[in-house]
Amino acid sequence: MRMPSTITISRQTYNRLKKEAGAFHVFMRGKLSIAKPLASSRAKKLVKDFRDSGIYTKSFLADLEKGLLKSSYGK
């Protein structure tokens, strides 16, 4: 079976994929280090980015934020 040369996706899906690809490229170029401490506001922004993706549960997001703020990354 031959794959089509084009596909159609929603704008929302396209924007999410584009954002994720950009974050991956930043990480791979070394401009983002997971070893650097996150300020509390940066931890909250990270949680917001996860929330905006629409693929994580409220429970997971609450645990993520709680963990980031308690960890050395959130201090």
Domain membership of residue 24 (yes or no) is no
**pLDDT digits over 56-74, tens only?**
899 999 998 888 888 765 5
pLDDT at 13: 92
68: left (phi over 0), alpha (psi -120 to 50) or beta: alpha
How many residues are there in the chain? 75
Residue that wins the pLDDT comparison between 41 and 50 = 50
Domain membership of residue 25 (yes or no) is no
Domain membership of residue 53 (yes or no) is yes
Domain membership of residue 59 (yes or no) is yes
Range of the domain at 71: 34-75
CA angle 69, 67, 19 (to 5 degrees): 85
Question: CA-CA distance, 54 to 8, in Å (whole number)?
Answer: 20
**pLDDT digits over 28-46, tens only?**
766 555 555 545 777 888 8
**pLDDT digits over 3-23, tens only?**
888 989 999 999 998 888 887
